[in-house]
Amino acid sequence: MISVVGLRKSFSGVEVLRGIDLSVEAREVVGVIGPSGSGKSTLLRCINRLEEPTAGQVVVDGVEVTGPGVAIDKVRTTMGMVFQSFNLFPHKPALGNVTLALRRVLKVDSAEADDRARRMLERVGLAARADAFPAQLSGGQQQRVAIARALAMEPKVMLFDEVTSALDPELVGEVLGVMRDLAEGGMTMVVVTHEMGFAREVCDRVVFMDGGLIVEEGPPAELFAAPKEERTRSFLSKVL
């Protein structure tokens, strides 16, 4: 479903990604862990080209995202992204946040868009808050609306960028719960996270990154219990 080959990214001369190869199968849930500054978020943001890769190739669902002249706006509708800082549109209620791109990008008519948006809000447990503005919602609720907003586009892939890092600890569970349901429903997911519990229990595979490279990857049971690389061991000993 996702294939990343030789991906490099520099920011004003500093190389943040130094040659990443990663492939993700359909229905697979891949967790990306690693210290801050290891390039995890940049990798995710290169997949939908919020960051322009310096070199390398990204292919999603058979479309070369990094190809010349690719219709990037169209390709992005196949990839949902959820951000650490929610980034809900503050001037729209929850429902309007979900319907905006449905109506304007996918040209779904407004009755159908409302309908679809309500179903999505229900799926994340927020059917009752459809008319609430982001400022009236808790962080956990805002993040669930953001997930509903991304899901409404019916993406092939979901990208999660440290989506619980800005949440109060007691709100983390409700967001992870939604993500767990999504994973069980067969969504293809790439999850950059600091939640080791989630990575261990929900992910099919965990990738450990450090210094702009993938150091080690494998099934969570193996990677967490018996890491092969010294760097992985030292990272895990600090966070577990």
Pick 71 or 111: Cβ nearer other proteins: 71
**Backbone conformation region of residue 223, classed left if phi is above 0, alpha if psi is from -120 to 50, else beta:** alpha
Q: Which is nearer to other proteins, 92 or 200 (CB)?
A: 92
User: What is the smallest separation between the CB atom of 149 and other proteins, expressed in angstroms?
Assistant: 7
For other proteins, the closer CB: 113 or 223: 113
User: How crowded is residue 55: how many other Cβ atoms within 10 Å of its Cβ?
Assistant: 12
**CA–CA distance, 116 with 216 (Å, rounded to integer):** 40
- The CB-of-220 to other proteins minimum distance in angstroms stands at 27
Least distance to other proteins from the beta carbon of 11, Å? 15
Secondary element (H or E) of residue 4? strand 2-11
Residues that bind other proteins (CB under 8 A): 48, 50, 73-74, 76-77, 79-81, 83, 85, 87-91, 100-101, 104-106, 135, 146, 149-150, 153
Smallest distance from other proteins to CB 73, Å: 5
CA distances from 22 to 8, 9, 56, 64, 72 (A): 12, 15, 12, 14, 21
Nearer to other proteins, 27 or 74 (CB): 74
Q: How many CA atoms are closer than 13 Å to the CA of 206, on its beta-carbon side?
A: 25
